[in-house]
């Protein structure tokens, strides 16, 4: 019996819910990572948003991906192109048989974005460190300021998989009731209700506040425990079932720019096994698009705040 199954069975014997990592091949624990720091088949990748965080100290052996430049096309407002992504992975020492573990700050928002990009390009054996930097640091595990220079890898990025990504027209179809997919808005309640346009201090804005008609609001933070780890799968299912999302229909997640919604995409797709697409255009695209209907319970209007 595997360690994960042993843990799950032991907890079940006492009527306790298994941690998400025990039920998923897509999560690893801080203990597992520390035990595999010297494993040549494992590559750690930090994807954080706060500048300078990696340079001040990271998990030993981890390479650094800058979300704003490495994982997006900075000109086309798109995901990183296939050839550029493959080059990035190979320079990181990732091979076809490498186990890649992503982690980062902000409860793994951008690590989850990275996992979504890896999935789009068909890269196998990709996992997220459950709890991310927050849990690693809270447990006083080792950090290093030394940036590794790996031997080039041989991994191959496949053609982008369109089944994992939603576009403006897909979301507009739901708003106009031409599609019965479930829309999950993972932003804060104040963003969803139109009380605020975006969290304080963020630069990406829409000129309209509110949400896509028909979308339900399941804030990403409901999915994680205090230490940043994902809640047990049974709890995740219950959270979504409470708003009518049970996996019986295709699901589209969205937020403001696509990073928080990739965290919810990971929970719904990788942990619950539902049919899910991430709408990375999110509210900054939809809220600014001409002719797209919105719901704005708070009635907030640009320029009157």
Rounded distance between C-alpha atoms, residue 214 and residue 293, angstroms: 11
List 54's β-bridge partners, or say none: none
* Closest-CA residue to 78 (of 290, 292, 285, 288): 285
* 184 bridge partner residues: 216, 253
Name the token pair of 127: 């996992």
Dihedral pair phi/psi, residue 289, rounded to 5°: -85, 135
Q: Enumerate the β-bridge partners of residue 208.
A: 301
Catalytic residue among 59, 175, 255, 257: 255
3-state secondary structure of 276: strand
Q: Is 119 a catalytic residue?
A: no
What is the torsional sign of CA 6, 103, 44, 30?
negative
139, 109, 289, 302: which is closest to 208 by C-alpha? 302
Phi and psi angles of residue 55, each rounded to the nearest 5 degrees, phi first: -65, -30
Catalytic residues: 255
């Amino acid at each position: 019996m595997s360690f994960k199954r042993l843990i799950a069975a032991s907890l079940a014997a006492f009527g306790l819910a298994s941690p998400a990592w025990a039920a998923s091949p897509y999560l690893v624990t801080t203990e597992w990572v520390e035990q595999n720091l010297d494993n040549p088949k494992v590559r750690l990748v930090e994807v954080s948003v706060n500048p300078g965080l990696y340079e001040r100290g990271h998990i030993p052996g981890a390479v650094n991906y800058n979300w704003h430049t490495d994982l997006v096309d900075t000109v086309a407002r798109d995901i990183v192109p296939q050839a550029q992504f493959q080059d990035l992975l190979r320079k990181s020492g990732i091979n076809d048989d490498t186990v890649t573990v992503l982690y980062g700050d902000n409860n793994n928002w951008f690590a989850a974005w990275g996992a979504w990009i890896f999935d789009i390009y068909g890269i196998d054996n990709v996992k997220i460190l459950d709890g991310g930097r927050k849990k690693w640091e809270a447990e006083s595990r080792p950090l290093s300021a030394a940036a590794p220079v790996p031997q080039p890898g041989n991994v191959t990025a496949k053609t982008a998989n369109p089944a994992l990504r939603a576009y403006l027209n897909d979301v507009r179809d739901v708003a106009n009731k031409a599609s019965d997919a479930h829309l999950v808005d993972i932003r804060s309640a104040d963003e969803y209700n139109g009380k605020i346009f975006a969290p304080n201090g963020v630069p990406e804005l829409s000129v309209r506040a509110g949400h896509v008609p028909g979308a339900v609001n399941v804030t990403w933070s409901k999915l994680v425990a205090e230490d940043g780890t994902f809640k047990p799968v049974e709890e995740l299912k219950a959270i979504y079932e409470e708003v009518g999302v049970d996996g019986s229909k295709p699901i589209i997640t969205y937020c403001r720019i696509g990073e928080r919604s990739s965290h919810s995409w990971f929970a719904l797709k990788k942990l619950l096994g539902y049919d899910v697409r991430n709408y990375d255009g999110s509210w900054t695209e939809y809220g600014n698009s001409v002719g797209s209907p919105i719901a704005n319970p708070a009635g907030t209007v640009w320029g009157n705040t």
